[in-house]
Structure 1
Amino acid sequence: MKFTRKLNKLGKYSYTVVVPKAIIDTLGWHEHQKVSISLESGRKIEIKDWSPTQRVSRPRGKK
């Protein structure tokens, strides 16, 4: 699948891109789902399903 979309400015510091429903359905995503966005190789934007990072629990020090 290949689609062409325009960038739309949203406020002062953000832009939006509308992702076609066909892509969302293929990925099994749903409305309000968290996604991770990263810049790959300086030229590509990668959008992935968000997964929580595992935090290393640290012992608390005395104050």
Structure 2
Amino acid sequence: MPDLVDHLYVSVTNSTTSSPTDTMPLSARAKLLMSVQSIAALLTPLPVIACAVSVLH
């Protein structure tokens, strides 16, 4: 039976389009860690882009 962690994992992988294609995490801990990693990878370039835009402006 899917629980909250399963639904959150599916939501994060769909919204960040970084779903794993070769393996699927089975434990709740692995799903949460992969979700955090996906969000961090998505947000990491933002400060660099903001700095570049402010330099060019």
Report if TM-score (shorter chain) is over 0.5.
Answer: no
TM-score by length of 1: 0.23
User: Which of the pair has the greater relative contact order for Cα pairs under 8 Å at 6+ separation?
Assistant: 2
Name which one, 1 or 2, has greater alpha-carbon Rg.
Answer: 1
TM-score by length of 2: 0.24
